[in-house]
């Protein structure tokens, strides 16, 4: 019986102890509603998260301000600088290629004239023609020579004459986005040849028409004189061919530089995208999550705000 009373006493003390602990935990306060504060904090966090998700989904950007990812934004801006610089350099290269295409067009016209002049010389050197007939061939040769000078003087790009050797400035293309000239520029001045007949060595100036040249041949020219002139023509054709080949080499180099810049921009854009762009699937899931948390937090806040009103029941 004594042991039973002892066990009953211990049990009573344990129950009383738990009741006191419960009273401490479940204390009723009016001035400070901790439950409401917790719910408010949760609601604020959920609302902020949902706003961030909506912003990222609507803009498509993961980083909309520096605070989203300060280090990432710095890297992305550096990549953007490279991308925009490369795009401008690619346009510069295209401008240079356009200039070369025009110069090559002039060379092609000059080459055609030179080939025709040589063909006429071969015909005129044949001794079966009379002086009058030979003169008709020489007349066409002289007109072709004049046409070469016209081509040389009218081959221009953006106001720069690139066919008669009068260009005074160094034509240097900015082919990269950096400031190091050795690795970011290509000079193409050497590819712009002088196509005038005087520079080619195939014409003499006509006294009555300053600025125009003729072959110096006539209907009385001998076959040896005509063949000697043909040697000059061959040298002129070879010079134009070599200059045109050099032009082609520059074109290939510029095209290669443009292709390299294009590949670089693809890689830069991919790296920038991984830093700046939003993962739409992830952000959609985040928005749904924060919407649910916002709704539950608002509901719990309403419940927490009702707890102090229970104190009124104690005053009745």
Side-chain half-sphere CA neighbours of 122 within 13 A = 8
Taking residues 285-309, report their average pLDDT: 89
Q: Is 219 inside any structural domain? A: yes
- Give the lowest-confidence range in 86-90, 165-169, 287-291: 165-169
List C-alpha distances in Å: 269 to 91, 174, 226, 248, 259. Answer: 18, 22, 64, 31, 15
CATH of the domain at 252: 1.20.1330.10
pLDDT at 9 over 70: no
Q: Is 153 inside any structural domain? A: yes
Instruction: Specify the number of domains making up the chain.
Output: 1
**Share above pLDDT 90 across residues of the chain, in percent, rounded to a whole number:** 66
Mean pLDDT rounded to a whole number for the chain: 88
CA distance 173 to 247: 14
Q: pLDDT tens digit string along 201-211?
A: 998 888 777 77
Q: Is 298 inside any structural domain? A: no
Q: Is 168 inside any structural domain? A: yes
pLDDT bucket at 112, cuts 50 / 70 / 90: very high
pLDDT bucket at 24, cuts 50 / 70 / 90: very low
Tokens of 16: 């009383």
Taking residues 205-225, report their average pLDDT: 86
Could you tell me where the beta strands, DSSP code E, fall in the chain? 156-157, 160-161, 172-174, 185-187, 204-206, 209-214
Q: Which domain holds residue 103?
A: 72-276
**What string of DSSP letters covers 4-33?**
HHHHHHHHHHHHHHHHHHHHHHT---SS--
pLDDT at 140 over 70: yes
Q: Is 37 inside any structural domain? A: no
pLDDT at 267 over 60: yes
- Give the lowest-confidence range in 17-21, 156-160, 276-280: 17-21
pLDDT at 75: 94
Q: Is 214 inside any structural domain? A: yes
Q: How many CB atoms lie within 10 A of CB 103?
A: 24
Q: Is 255 inside any structural domain? A: yes
Q: Is 113 inside any structural domain? A: yes
């Amino acid at each position: 019986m004594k042991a039973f009373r002892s066990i009953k006493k211990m049990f009573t003390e344990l129950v009383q102890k738990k009741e006191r602990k419960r009273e401490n935990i479940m204390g009723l306060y009016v001035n400070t509603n901790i439950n409401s504060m917790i719910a408010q904090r949760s609601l604020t966090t959920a609302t902020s998260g949902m706003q961030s998700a909506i912003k990222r989904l609507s803009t498509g950007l993961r980083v909309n301000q520096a605070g989203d990812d300060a280090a990432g934004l710095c890297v992305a801006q550096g990549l953007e600088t490279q991308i925009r610089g490369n795009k401008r350099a690619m346009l510069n290269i295209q401008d240079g290629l356009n200039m070369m295409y025009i110069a090559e067009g002039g060379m092609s016209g000059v080459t055609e004239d030179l080939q025709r002049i040589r063909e006429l010389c071969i015909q005129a050197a044949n001794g079966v023609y009379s002086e009058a007939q030979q003169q008709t061939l020489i007349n066409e040769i002289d007109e072709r020579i004049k046409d070469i000078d016209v081509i040389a003087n009218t081959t221009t790009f953006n106001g720069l004459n690139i066919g008669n050797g009068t260009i005074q400035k160094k034509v240097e293309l900015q082919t990269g986005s950096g400031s190091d000239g050795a690795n970011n520029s290509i000079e193409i001045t050497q590819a712009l040849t002088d196509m005038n007949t005087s520079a080619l060595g195939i014409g003499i100036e006509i006294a009555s028409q300053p600025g125009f040249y003729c072959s110096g041949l006539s209907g009385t020219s001998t076959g040896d004189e005509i063949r000697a002139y043909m040697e000059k023509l061959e040298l002129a054709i070879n010079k134009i061919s070599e200059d045109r080949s050099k032009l082609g080499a520059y074109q290939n180099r510029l095209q290669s530089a443009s292709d390299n810049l294009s590949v670089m921009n693809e890689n830069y854009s991919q790296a920038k995208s991984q830093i700046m762009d939003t993962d739409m699937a992830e952000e959609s899931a985040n928005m749904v999550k924060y919407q649910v948390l916002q709704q539950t937090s608002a509901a719990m806040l309403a419940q927490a705000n009702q707890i102090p009103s229970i104190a009124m029941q104690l005053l009745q």
